[in-house]
Structures are given as C-alpha cells and as structure tokens.
C-alpha cells in the first residue's frame, strides 16, 4: 500500500506501508504524515491511499484518529467507485475529542 498527502503549499509527501510478521510495521498514511512533519509542514489538505492492486482505500482507524488529532478533519480523501472527495471527519464523525470534555479532564 502507498499513500500521498498534499499540503496547502501544494507539496506532496508520500509513504508506504511496512507490514511485518511481528506487527512492528506502520501504515502508509502515517509514513506520509511523518514525511510531511519532517519537511516542516503540519497539515494535509488531501489524502490518497492505494492498495497493492491500485484500488483506493480509506485509512485505518488509527490513521484516521492520528490525522484528526493533528487537526486535519477537513482533509479531503479520494475514495469510492466512482472516486469522489470525502472530508476525513465524515469517516470518524464521533471521535473522542469532538465530545464535550468531562469534569476533571482537560
């Protein structure tokens, strides 16, 4: 699997999936996020993830949560058949930070 992120500056950051037998690998989306952050950028505007067969894929739950924690709920993702753009927040509409803070928790 491979992923690419586009930033407001128009830069493209790519990543690949490293799948290992001992589960110490990482997703392509997280690899692309790391490349983006390493390059000094902090917010993607678009995300594209492809499977081994070239099919469009949604990010896994962990990647969705990481993107949302980075404040990227507006990130547009190319998904579906036919392909169309979907905001990331629509894939995880009730994530934990979107709820009201409980007393005693910041």
How confident is the model at residue 99, as a pLDDT?
53
Decide if 78 contacts 48 (C-beta within 8 A).
yes
Contact, 104 vs 76, CB < 8 A? no
Asked if residue 101 belongs to a domain, the reply is no
Q: What is the arithmetic mean of pLDDT over 72-82?
A: 86
Is 100 part of any domain?
Answer: no
CATH number at residue 54: 3.40.140.10
Query: Mean pLDDT over residues 77-90, rounded?
Result: 89
Rounded distance, CA 8 to CA 12, Å? Answer: 10
Give the domain range for residue 34: 2-89
Task: Count how many domains the chain has.
Answer: 1
Answer yes or no: is 98 within a domain: no
Check residue 64 and give its pLDDT.
86
Show the tokens assigned to 58: 């949604």
DSSP 29: H
Is residue 105, in this structure, part of any structural domain at all? no
SS (H, E, C) 69-91: HCCCCCCEEEECCCCEEEEHHHC
94 assigned to some structural domain = no
């Amino acid at each position: 699997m491979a992923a690419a992120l586009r930033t407001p500056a128009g830069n493209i950051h790519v990543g690949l999936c490293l799948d290992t037998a001992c589960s110490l690998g990482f997703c392509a989306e997280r690899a692309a996020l790391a490349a983006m952050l390493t390059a000094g950028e902090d917010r993607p505007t678009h995300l594209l993830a492809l499977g081994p067969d070239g099919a469009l894929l949604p990010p896994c739950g962990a990647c969705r949560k990481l993107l949302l924690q980075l404040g990227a709920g507006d990130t547009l993702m190319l998904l579906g058949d036919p392909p169309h753009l979907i905001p990331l927040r629509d894939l995880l509409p009730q994530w934990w930070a979107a709820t009201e803070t409980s007393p005693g928790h910041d």
